[in-house]
Chain A
Amino acid sequence: MRRDKRQGFSRWRAAWIAATLVAAGSLLVVASDNRPERVPSYVSWTPETIAAASAGDAFRGMLLAKHCEHCHGAEGFSAVGATPNLAGVNRLAIWKELEDFRSHKRRSPVMEPIAGSLSSRDVADVVAYYAKVPVFEDLQDNRSFPQPRPDQKRSAMASLLVSFGDGERGIPPCQSCHGPVAYKIGVPSLANQNADYVLRQLEAFANGSRSNDINMPMRTISILLSEEERHALAGYYGSGLGLDTGSSR
């Protein structure tokens, strides 16, 4: 009797295993038929997203931002050029980057775990705080901003690209999205950004190691820029030549 039961059981088990294998196989076939869709970022600027990202409490954010001070500076200006300045950056821009770090769409061994430890409320609060941090000069702070100006040739090259772009190559002017002329939604103002950070991001976009720009504008533009133009643009923004109306905050 027992033996029969066991035999029956094993037969059922065999049937189950076979069914599972068939199901898994068919799933694999279906998966290989589907195109692997590359999604740059899970953020989509719907009115609900914007409302959630703008509903932060800046005072609570100020307390949370004590964790950020070590790298991003007590006044939102970092001491190391490779670390971005956060003071006065459009809140939606920092919000999107933190969300992308949380969903591992933007890679950084430092920022991914930190952003992952924040709740969505924490993220909204922190970005509300940094958008309100003033950007005026402070000689007692050990910030690395502003860096020395690039030479005359590079400055001229950069200011042409910033204000006019290059229509011949299809490069739009930087100021039409990064300010001060216009701010596209979720786009950071670069007026107070470090040269080294801007350069590293342009290079990361160009070589594909950063790919979280929605509909790939920066991956397209950074490839069109030459090596010297990238350095020139980074130097332009890093030396404080970029302007900011603050209207995006």
Chain B
Amino acid sequence: MNWRKLRTFLLTVLVLCLIPATRYYQIDEPLMRLLKSPRAVDPLSLHLAGEFVESNLGTEQGSDGSVTVRMIAQQYLFVPHCILVPAGVPVHLRITSADAVHSLNFIGTKYNVKVVPGTISEAQLQFPEAGDFKTACTEFCGAGHYAMRSKLKVVPRDQFPVLGAQERGTCAAR
């Protein structure tokens, strides 16, 4: 066996090993981590009771000043359609899906959150500066996928409204 043939063979083996490894670390492992998590929710009855009833969606301000955002991704909308968060404060995002796999991408920022039905995806976000951002679904979810967009409004910390324990902040039109 000459050197050229050996080199081709070794390269082929290397590439064949790399493809499943890439797939595993980029797709399967994050998905399995989500699916194995005990924080399971029933995607069909989100609206009936529990954390993701419609009156609980939006930005919640804890008594200690922590900020939590709860959202639902569904074909082909993010609800609430515009999220309101203060700038420079760590934001805890909790999002779940009502039907298919979605992915919430905050365009122009480093954040992208995969949303799998039956699980709650959590992420710690922080937006240093005030401004208007757009979000988009980056996981093909069906016929209206490309129009599945929403908005994120980051306001300066002193302009963020003081929310009561029962209130949920949102900038979606009402």
Chain B residues contacting A146 (CB-CB under 8 Å) are none
B147:A215 contact, CB within 8 angstroms: no
- Number of chain B residues whose Cβ lies closer than 8 Å to a Cβ of chain A: 34
Q: Which residues of A22-43 have CB atoms within 8 Å of chain B's CB atoms?
A: 35-42
Chain B contacts with A in 131-172, Cβ cutoff 8 A: 142-144, 146-151, 166, 172
* Closest chain A CB from B106 CB (angstroms): 14
The reply to whether the CB of A45 lies closer than 8 angstroms to some CB of chain B is yes
**CB of A71 within 8 Å of the partner chain:** no
Known: A172-B144, A176-B76. A42 touches B48 (CB 8 A): yes
8 A Cβ contacts from B30-75 to A: 44-49, 53-56, 72, 74-75
B143 closest partner in A (C-beta): A176
Task: Given A37-B55, A38-B54, A39-B48, verify A181-B77 contact (CB < 8 Å).
Answer: no
B47, B53, B72, B80: most-surrounded residue (chain A CB, <10 A) = B47
Q: A166 to B146, alpha carbons, bound, how many Å?
A: 9
Q: Which residues of B contact A181 (CB under 8 A)?
A: 143
B23 at the interface (CB under 8 A from A): no
B125 within 8 A of A: no
Contact A165 B147 (CB under 8 A): yes
Q: Do A173 and B166 touch (CB < 8 A)?
A: no
Q: A44 with B142: in contact, given A170-B77, A223-B174 (CB under 8 Å)?
A: no
Contact mask for chain A residues 31-74; partner B; CB cutoff 8 A; 1 contact, 0 none: 00001111111101110000000000000000000000000000
Once A46-B44, A172-B144 are accepted as A-B contacts, the answer to whether A39 and B77 lie under 8 Å apart by CB is no
By DSSP majority rule, is chain A's interface helix, strand, loop, or mixed?
Answer: loop
- The secondary-structure label for the interface of chain B is loop
Residues of B within 8 A of A171 (CB): 147
User: Which listed residue, A35, A44, A177, touches B47 by the CB 8 Å rule?
Assistant: A44
Q: For residue B55, which residues in chain A have a CB less than 8 angstroms away from its CB?
A: 35-38
Do the beta carbons of B81 and A170 come within 8 Å of each other?
A: yes
Chain A nearest Cβ from B145, distance in angstroms: 8
Bound Cα distance A169, B135 (Å): 11
The residue of chain B having its C-beta at the shortest distance from the C-beta of A165 within the complex is: B147
Nearest CB in chain B to that of A32: its residue? B166
Instruction: Please give, as numbers and ranges, the residues of chain B lying within 8 Å of A184 by CB-CB distance.
Output: 75, 99
Q: Which of B75, B79, B99 contacts A220 (CB 8 A)?
A: B79
CB <8 Å contact, A176 and B144: yes
Which residues of chain A are near B46, meaning CB under 8 Å? 215
Taking a contact as CB atoms under 8 Å apart, the answer to whether A182 and B142 are in contact is yes
A164 and B147 in contact, given A35-B166, A217-B77, A224-B173 (Cβ under 8 angstroms):
yes
**Cβ-closest chain A residue relative to B49:** A37
Give the docked Cα–Cα distance between A46 and B43 (Å). Answer: 10
Does A17 lie at the interface of the complex (its beta carbon under 8 Å from any beta carbon of B)?
Answer: no
Q: What residues of A have a CB within 8 angstroms of the CB of B99 in the complex?
A: 184
Contact B72 A215 (CB under 8 A): yes
| In the bound complex, CA of A238 to CA of B99 (Å) | 30
B47 touches A170 (CB 8 A): no
Asked if B84 lies at the interface with its beta carbon under 8 angstroms from chain A, I say no
Q: List 5 A-B contacts (CB under 8 A).
A: A166-B147, A170-B149, A172-B147, A176-B143, A220-B172
Q: Please list the residues of chain B having a beta carbon within 8 angstroms of any beta carbon in chain A.
A: 44-49, 53-56, 72, 74-81, 98-99, 142-144, 146-151, 166, 172-174
Q: Which 3 A-B pairs have the closest CB atoms?
A: A176-B144, A172-B144, A176-B143
Q: A36-B166, A173-B143, A173-B147 are in contact. List 12 more A-B contacts (CB 8 A).
A: A38-B53, A165-B76, A165-B144, A166-B147, A170-B149, A172-B75, A176-B76, A177-B144, A184-B99, A217-B77, A220-B77, A220-B79
